[in-house]
Structure 1
Amino acid sequence: MNKLFACLIVFTALLGGVLAPAQAQQSAPQPLDRIVAVVDADVILQSELDRAERNIRSQYANRQDQLPPSDVLRRQVLERLILVRLEVARAAEMGVRVSDEEVDAAVANIARQNKITPEQLQAQLAQQGQSSADFRNSLRDELTAQRLRQHFAQSRISVSDAEVDAALAAQASNGPQYHMANILIALPENATPEEIKTAQTKIDGIKALLDKGGIDFPAAAVRYSDSANALEGGDLGWRSLDEVPSAFSATLKDMQVGQVIGPTRGPSGFQLLKLIETRDASKAAPQMVTQYHARHILVRTGDNISDEQAKAKIDTLRARLTGGADFATVASDSSEDVNSAARGGDLGWFTPETFGPEFGSQVTALQDGQVSQPFKSEAGWHIVQRIGTRQADAGEENRRAQIRETIGQRKLEEEWTRYQRDMRNEAYVDIRLADKPSDGTTPPAGATGNDSASPAQPAPNSGG
């Protein structure tokens, strides 16, 4: 499913503030650490929550007025930490692991993106009072949660050719695309009349405040939305009409740029939707993409072979190649990718994200003709040989792949929201958060943010 199954490492806001100026991160000496939440057999400490909240605030250093009251923000951040804990535990049950080498690569990638060395990154962390071990553990958890989401997508999300054909037909009819944002007030499954009334009051209060001009839409989303995109101002990106929930699609065609519609009741709760801008997708300029031609050898890991056994086998195959063995011959004889082994491991032409981030990063780092060292992906251990590169027009095949990805991403948002909600509701969560006085910001009537003190409350949702 193209990029859907090839998510690049993107730091969440829980970690994203670690490279803010050190003085912005300094805090008073902390009292003895205490437990703020029990999550099944795990705990979340006050120091973890404080660090995550500081990192969020550093992201909004020049936009503090867009953040919710302190007590609401603290609960939102804690709920995110709870979800990550649950996702990491679920990943462990499923055998999903993130190796030390993958964490090393992620740390190096973060340092590179910030134009510093890993050693300089470690020094900045120390200045801000965060140990390298804590940083790596947090990063490992985030990567594990991301890996679980990818595994979930691969196992549960499918897009048929008929769905792609229908979307292509809609594009061919010069249908516009819509850039939208949303605010979600979530409801649990089988919500009671009282819960529905409370959510309705909350969303009505937000809509009234928007209509009066008392707050702009992105700030309202950050303050009050239960959606996972709240800290991005509720931005949903570009979508065609068939990718919009049916509750909004009929109205969207007649909306004016800047208009807000709703509240509308959907599967996840009550929503407000804002139209930011529109464009004609049929007039988009062709996009040139870099494609790679490569072949590979795969040794799978699973129930019948341990990771250590698979690594030993791939190392032996790499030694054969170093000794002069023909790559295609070794792939035909030994690769466990049945689709490509018959072709000497040939994968044809593809874009870097086609086979996942690990595979893509290896191929792009090679020179034509060069053979990689063994590396691991979700499928197992690989060796890849890059054969060639070319620039190609994003023609029919790429358009189909992009549409397939978009539809798959929409389905994933809906299914992942339900999966998170079920995971949260099934877990034992005891929140021991001692609320501090809020920062004095008064929300609209009923719009007091996402109160997640009760285990029965839904997890942050991704819209829909």
Structure 2
Amino acid sequence: MNFRRFLATSVLALGLSQGAIAKPQLIDQVVGTVNEGVILQSEVDAIINRVKGQAKASGQELPSDDALRVQAIERLIDQTLLLQLGERMGMEISDGQLDQTLANMAREQGGTIADMRASVEASGESFQQFREDIRREITTQQVMRANVDRRIYISLQEIDNLLKIMDQQGGNAEEYDIGHILIDIPSGASAEDIASAQERASKVIDMLNDGQEFKRIAIASSSGSKALEGGQLGWMGTNEMPSLFAEAVKGKKKDDIIGPLRSGAGFHIIKVQDVRGRQVVETVEVRSRHILLKPSIILSEEKARSMLAGFVKDLRAGEADFAALAKEYSEDPGSALKGGEYDWTDPTTYVPAFRDTLMALEKDEISEPFRSTFGWHIVQLLEKRVADKTDLAKKNRAQQLLYNRKFKEESFAFQQEIREQAHIDIFAEE
């Protein structure tokens, strides 16, 4: 049996009257390999069906099924590479951590996990499959952050320079709703490859200028990470978008098409979908303390989680002191000596798992153990306030904007690097 065409077959039971074996029935099909892993037709179909469902709900026109198939496979390649890297790193998302994430998602939508299950099943999807999709998404996000964070360095001079720019902008800073299409240039591209990519980029711009829908063209043509979302990058200020984009969008108006802009990744096409004055949102700051345990060869994932669960039980019973436990056990050198305490901080600067868990707590409440990219934590919310516009708050904001910009740039470069090192084979449709 050709492995490229069939993952497995099922043999039907012998017919009582005919005594013959029925023909094998196709269960699933392998459409490609990524290193030692495989991409299945069922995975491709699931992504395509989800995109079609979302497009139908929003009345959006989609490109051909062939274009959707290419984009779905591209997304699965990226996901598979990150999951394989996560496995080598020993990164696992426990059922407890997954349930906590789902509960946070449901709470943000004003419901419960039971409501979420009902909604997913009403759309025709399996809730168990939905859970596993979320587990994979959390894993890929954590793998990406763990590997990209180490590539990011922000100097004090960069923060000071940005603070001066922000002071000059005052309340007049603008935000842009950006659509993005990337026509990529492969590694080691020849002059002909580059010219061909530039020609394709020019054709895309012509189609957009002729009034064709941006999202549809992005799904069909873009190699960007948000291609299946129609290239939607959302609202960003110029201080947090990649430098190449920031220079290009300044002074542009709604519906302007920009590009092609050349970078090491390829040719970028940007649509300014809307412009607004920066939305002034009151900044919430929190004071908290936590205990971090980092799994290792000596300390397993389950042992780290169970140790923290024991701490929580003792703390809630009044049989232990948080500061003493943090000083003895926490592996966060920055806070352990202070009893695990963090000073007033904008919670958006924390990694998502830590931020979401912390913000779901009431004052003085202690969380259940949860996993982040750094390891296993428990956290206690000590105080919460609406921040004033202190110098510290401004510096934190500037640092976060610089981080957002560099993370976008470095994450794409990282994804390209692991692709170049991988063995990828996508089979032609028969």
Give the TM-score, by structure 2 length. Answer: 0.82
Write the mapping of 1:310-325 to structure 2, written as runs, cut at 5 A.
310-321=304-315, 322-325=317-320
Structure 2: state its 5+ residue gaps: 1-24
Which has the larger displacement, 50-59 or 164-173? 164-173
2:312 & 2:46 partners in 1: Cα distance?
A: 44
Q: Which of 204, 225, 244 is the aligned partner of 1:206?
A: 204
Distance 1:228 1:279, change over 3 A: same
Match of 2:154 in 1: 159
2:219 & 2:362 partners in 1: Cα distance?
A: 45
CA shift, 1:408, in A, is 1.9
Write the mapping of 1:263-412 to structure 2, written as runs, cut at 5 A.
263-278=260-275, 285=280, 287-321=281-315, 322-412=317-407
The letter for the 2-side match of 1:265 is R
The SS at the match of 1:67 is: coil
Are 2:181 and 2:223, in contact at CA under 8 Å, matched by a contact in 1?
yes
Match of 1:7 in 2: none
The SS at the match of 2:365 is: coil
CA shift, 1:52, in A, is 1.4
Q: Deviations over 1:66-105 (max 9, x none)?
A: 3222101111111111211111001111122211112222
Q: Which of 222, 226, 233 is the aligned partner of 1:225?
A: 222
2:360 & 2:32 partners in 1: Cα distance?
A: 43
Q: Deviations over 1:187-233 (max 9, x none)?
A: 112212232232122112122222333x1434433332222233444
Q: What is the number of residues matched between the two proteins?
A: 401
Write the mapping of 1:67-86 to structure 2, written as runs, cut at 5 A.
67-86=62-81
Which has the larger displacement, 183-192 or 402-411? 402-411
Match of 1:434 in 2: 429
The SS at the match of 2:387 is: strand
CA shift, 1:45, in A, is 1.9
Distance 1:334 1:41, change over 3 A: closer
1:375 & 1:247 partners in 2: Cα distance?
A: 37
Are 1:371 and 1:384, in contact at CA under 8 Å, matched by a contact in 2?
yes
Q: Deviations over 1:276-307 (max 9, x none)?
A: 444565xx64x323322222333332344222
Are 1:68 and 1:224, in contact at CA under 8 Å, matched by a contact in 2?
no
CA shift, 1:257, in A, is 4.0
The letter for the 1-side match of 2:147 is F
Match of 1:94 in 2: 89
Q: Compute the RMSD of aligned alpha carbons.
A: 3.0
2:198 & 2:398 partners in 1: Cα distance?
A: 35
Q: Deviations over 1:253-289 (max 9, x none)?
A: 45444332322322211122333444565xx64x323
CA shift, 1:57, in A, is 0.6
1:248 & 1:374 partners in 2: Cα distance?
A: 40
The SS at the match of 1:288 is: coil
Q: Which of 143, 153, 174 is the aligned partner of 1:177?
A: 174
Match of 1:134 in 2: 129
Distance 1:194 1:98, change over 3 A: same
The SS at the match of 1:309 is: helix
Which has the larger displacement, 416-425 or 326-335? 326-335
CA shift, 1:114, in A, is 5.2
CA shift, 1:151, in A, is 0.7
1:182 & 1:379 partners in 2: Cα distance?
A: 32
Distance 1:166 1:277, change over 3 A: farther
Which has the larger displacement, 31-40 or 156-165? 31-40
The SS at the match of 2:299 is: coil
Match of 2:194 in 1: 196
Q: Deviations over 1:112-153 (max 9, x none)?
A: 455555345445655665444433322221111111112123
Distance 1:248 1:188, change over 3 A: farther
Q: Which of 94, 98, 106 is the aligned partner of 1:103?
A: 98
Distance 1:156 1:324, change over 3 A: same
Are 1:178 and 1:241, in contact at CA under 8 Å, matched by a contact in 2?
no
Give the TM-score, by structure 1 length. Answer: 0.76
Q: Which fold has the larger relative contact order, with Cα–Cα distance below 8 Å and residues 6 or more apart in sequence?
A: 1
